[in-house]
C-alpha cells in the first residue's frame, strides 16, 4: 500500500466521522442528503461481498467493516433517530436516486471483469459510488447555504477522490500488471462531479466567508 | 488474491 492510497482511505474515513460527529453533536442532519447516504451504504454492502471470501489484509477487513457500520449508522440516525430525523430536509432531497441504482445495475451487467455475482456487484458498487454524491450536491445547491461541517464533509470526500487518483497513477507506474479501467474511469467521473463544488469551496476559503453555492 | 487489479482497494 502506498502513501496516496492510505491518505485516501484516511480522508474518506474522516469525511464519514465528520458527518457522524455533526449529527451527534448538533442532533441535526440539516443539509445532509439521506439519498446520498443510502447510496453509500449500498455501495459498501455490495462492494464488500468479498469480506468473507477473499482475505487481503487485517487493515482491509477492518476498514470494510468500519465503512459498512458507519454508513449504516448514518442512515439509521437520519431515518429512525427520534430527534435527528426531524431536521431532515425531505422537501429538498427529491433526487430520483432509484434511477441511479437501476442505471448502474444495467451498466454493471454489461461492463464487468467476469460475469459472476461478486464481480457484477463489485462493478455496480464502483459505478454507483461515482454518482452517489449527486443527491447531496443537488441538496446543497437548493439550500444555498452550506454549514461548515457539511462543507468539510464534502471537502474530505473530494480529497479522498484526489488521493485515489494519485494512488492509481503511482500503481500504474510501479506495478507491472495493474489493471484499472473500471475503477479509473468511474473514479475520474466521480472526481469531476466534485470539481464545481471545490471551486466554490476554494472561493469561500480564500475570501474567508461562508460557503454559498449559486442558485 | 488480486495483485494486478484494484480489487485490493477499499
Give pLDDT tens digits for A82-101: 999 999 999 999 999 999 99
User: Would you tell me how many other CB atoms lie within 10 Å of the CB of residue A162?
Assistant: 16
Residue A76 lies in a domain: yes
A18 φ, ψ (degrees, to nearest 5): -60, -45
Which residues from B are below 8 Å from A177, CB to CB?
A: 3-4
Comparing CA positions, the residue from A185, A188, A36 lying closest to residue A123 is A185
Domain enclosing residue A200, as ranges: 3-206
Q: How distant, in Å, are the alpha carbons of A39, A53, A62 from that of A6?
A: 23, 23, 14
* pLDDT class of A119 with cuts at 50, 70, 90: very high
Mean per-residue pLDDT of chain A: 91
Q: Residues A99-128: what's their mean pLDDT?
A: 95
Looking at the structure of chain A, the number of domains it has is 1
A213 belongs to a structural domain: no
Whether residue A215 is contained in a domain is answered as no
B10: closest CA among A51, A39, A73?
Answer: A51
**Using the beta-carbon criterion (under 8 Å), do B4 and A175 form an inter-chain contact?**
yes
**What pLDDT is attached to residue A61?**
96
**A6-20: per-residue pLDDT in tens?**
999 999 999 999 999
Domain assignment present for residue A212? The answer is no
pLDDT at B5 over 80: no
Q: Do A177 and B3 touch (CB under 8 A)?
A: yes
Which of B3, B7, B8 to mutate to test binding with chain A, by most A CBs within 10 Å of its CB? Answer: B7
Torsion sign (Cα): A65, A157, A149, A10? positive
The angle that helices A117-131 and A34-47 make with each other, rounded to 10 degrees, is 150
- Cβ atoms of A180 and A164 within 8 Å: the answer is no
Share of chain A above pLDDT 90, in %: 70
pLDDT of residue A82: 96
Task: Note whether A42 and A131 are within 8 A (CB).
Answer: no
Question: CA A6, CA A25: separation in Å to the nearest integer?
Answer: 28
| pLDDT, tens only, A154-198 | 889 989 999 999 999 999 899 887 877 889 899 999 988 888 778
User: Residue A105: pLDDT above 70?
Assistant: yes
In this complex, the residue of A177, A183, A184 whose CB is nearest that of residue B4 is A177
Phi, psi of A179 (to 5 degrees): -100, 135
d(CA A37, CA A75): 6
Residues of chain B with C-beta less than 8 angstroms from the C-beta of A161: none
Find all residues with CB under 8 Å of A50, minimum gap 6, and list them. A118, A122, B7
Rounded to two decimals, the ipTM of the complex is: 0.80
Cell of A102: 437501476
Assign B2 a pLDDT band (cuts: 50, 70, 90): very low
Cα separation, A132 vs A40, whole angstroms = 7
Task: Please indicate whether, in this complex, the C-beta atoms of A56 and B10 are within 8 angstroms of each other.
Answer: no
Measured CA to CA, the distance from residue A96 to residue A105 in angstroms comes to 15
3-state secondary structure (DSSP) of residue B5:
strand
Amino acid at each position: 500500500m502506498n502513501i496516496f492510497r492510505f491518505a485516501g482511505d484516511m480522508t474518506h474515513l474522516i469525511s464519514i466521522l465528520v458527518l457522524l460527529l455533526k449529527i451527534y453533536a448538533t442532533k441535526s442532519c440539516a443539509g445532509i442528503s439521506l439519498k446520498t447516504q443510502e447510496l453509500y451504504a449500498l455501495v459498501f454492502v455490495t462492494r464488500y461481498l468479498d469480506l468473507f471470501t477473499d482475505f487481503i489484509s487485517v487493515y482491509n477487513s477492518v476498514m470494510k467493516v468500519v465503512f459498512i457500520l458507519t454508513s449504516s449508522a448514518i442512515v439509521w440516525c437520519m431515518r429512525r433517530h427520534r430527534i435527528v430525523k426531524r431536521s431532515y430536509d425531505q422537501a429538498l432531497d427529491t433526487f430520483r436516486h432509484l434511477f441511479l441504482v437501476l442505471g448502474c445495475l444495467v451498466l454493471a451487467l454489461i461492463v464487468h471483469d467476469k460475469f459472476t455475482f461478486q464481480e457484477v456487484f463489485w462493478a455496480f458498487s464502483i459505478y454507483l459510488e461515482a454518482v452517489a454524491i449527486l443527491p447531496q450536491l443537488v441538496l446543497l445547491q437548493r439550500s444555498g447555504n452550506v454549514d461548515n461541517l457539511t462543507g468539510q464533509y464534502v471537502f474530505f470526500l473530494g480529497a479522498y477522490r484526489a488521493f485515489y487518483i494519485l494512488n492509481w497513477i503511482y500503481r500504474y507506474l510501479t506495478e507491472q500488471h495493474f489493471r484499472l479501467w473500471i475503477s479509473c474511469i468511474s473514479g475520474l467521473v466521480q472526481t469531476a462531479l466534485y470539481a464545481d463544488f471545490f471551486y466554490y469551496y476554494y472561493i469561500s476559503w480564500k475570501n474567508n466567508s461562508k460557503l454559498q453555492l449559486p442558485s | 488474491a488480486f495483485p494486478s487489479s484494484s480489487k485490493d482497494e477499499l
